[in-house]
Amino acid sequence: MTSSAKAPALAAWPTPVDVLEHAVRTKGAFSTFHRLLTADAPIARTPKRLVWTLNKARLFRYAPCAPPEKRRKTPLLLVFAIMNRPYVLDLRPGHSFVEYMLRHGHDVYLLDWGVPGPEDKDLAFDDYALDYLPRAIRKLQRIAGASEFNMLGWCLGALISTLYAAMRPEEGLKNLILLTAPLDFSDKSAGGFARWTSHPAFDPDKLTALFGNVPGEMIDAGAKMLKPVENFVGAYANLWDNIEDERRTEAWHAMNTWVRNVIPMSGAAYKQLINDFYKQNKLIEGTLTLYGEPVKLENLRANLFNVVAETDHITPPCQSAGIMDKVGSSDKELFRVRGGHIGIMAGRDAEKNTWPHLEQWLAARSD
């Protein structure tokens, strides 16, 4: 309101007209503020078709938009985390990673793990990586008519993708992109989660015995407590400061719509994440087994592009970078991007700082 052209011209004692005008604009600002906090923004609008389902999991294929001669043959599968909705990859028209990749001719598929119900409390990473994901990939390969495929995993989706790539190296995975992948928990002081969960008093078994699945609100609160002032105060103060900037408020609204849509996490996967990964670092120690089979990172031979966010407070860079010497890929690159855990892909600079690098790396390595 004071940012308007009128504000600097205000006299020390405002006139009744100024007061009235200010009151009207303040009312409008409050109304916008309330709408942004309570209503949902239109997100995930890129046209797509449901091509496969299993339990709550769904596989979507996005409608291509590039001319036929520019389309690439190798399909790209996007795998997001299991405790958030995957639509952050297709946040809003004009600012969507999915849209960007489609424009560059990629055949894009999205795996949505769905919302686990009480009957899914025993779903573990074994199931996600070696049962659900291979089935979705099998369907994708049939639809695309391609034996090879590319995969992009983000956050816990990157962990699942890594497990799959190490366990099933012969199933056609050509290029693997990992985004902010939590894989190496050697440093227990790196990041709040590692510190909190590695404390002996933190017992995920008791928590899941009580709830079955871990409530989404609890996971969301935990993530926000990593930067409490920014998340509980700063975000809203910044929104108020920019309430009359439509471009900024709509971007904030889309992100807030995604953030508010919290979902529970399967109890078994949560226990495994805390006990096997955070506390015991089994993947890096080479002691992790899925369905009784050992997971050997040296069997991960797909081309690897490992993206870390330099100011990531959820997955600190060291938790992702640690696998570079462990994997068997001959073509591998660690790529650092300025930004946070979500910001590197969904922030306003993503289209400039992250997406082109992912696309170019992939384009150079796929048909």
Catalytic residues: 155, 312, 341
By the rule CB under 8 A, 12 interacts with another protein: yes
Secondary structure of the chain: what % helix, strand, coil (to 5)?
45, 15, 35
Q: Which is nearer to another protein, 63 or 233 (CB)?
A: 233
Neighbours of 32 (CB within 10 A): 17
Quote the distance between the C-alpha of residue 155 and its chain's center: 6
- Taking CA atoms, 342 is separated from 149, 154, 158, 163, 285, in Å, by 25, 9, 13, 22, 28
Token pair of 92, please? 């809003």
User: Binding residue for another protein (CB under 8 A) from 292, 330, 364, 367?
Assistant: 292
* Dist CA 17 CA 21 (whole Å): 6
Q: Which is nearer to another protein, 122 or 331 (CB)?
A: 122
- Binding to another protein by CB under 8 A, coded x per residue (else -) over 27-66, reads --x------------------------xx-----------
Closest to 101 (Cα-Cα) out of 35, 148, 48, 24: 48
**Does residue 362 contact residue 354 with C-beta atoms inside 8 Å?**
no
- Binding to another protein by CB under 8 A, coded x per residue (else -) over 166-205, reads -xx--x-------------------xx--xx-xxxxxx--
Give the total of residues touching another protein (CB under 8 A): 65
Chain positions 297 to 356 lying near another protein, rule: CB under 8 A, are none
**Does residue 14 contact residue 20 with C-beta atoms inside 8 Å?**
no
User: Shortest gap between Cβ of 217 and another protein (angstroms)?
Assistant: 14
Give counts: helices (H), strands (E), the chain: 17, 10
Chain positions 253 to 272 lying near another protein, rule: CB under 8 A, are none
Residues that bind another protein (CB under 8 A): 1-3, 7-8, 10, 12-14, 18-19, 22, 26, 29, 54-55, 117-119, 122-124, 126-127, 130-131, 134-135, 138-139, 142, 167-168, 171, 191-192, 195-196, 198-203, 206-207, 209-210, 225-230, 233-234, 237, 240-244, 291-293
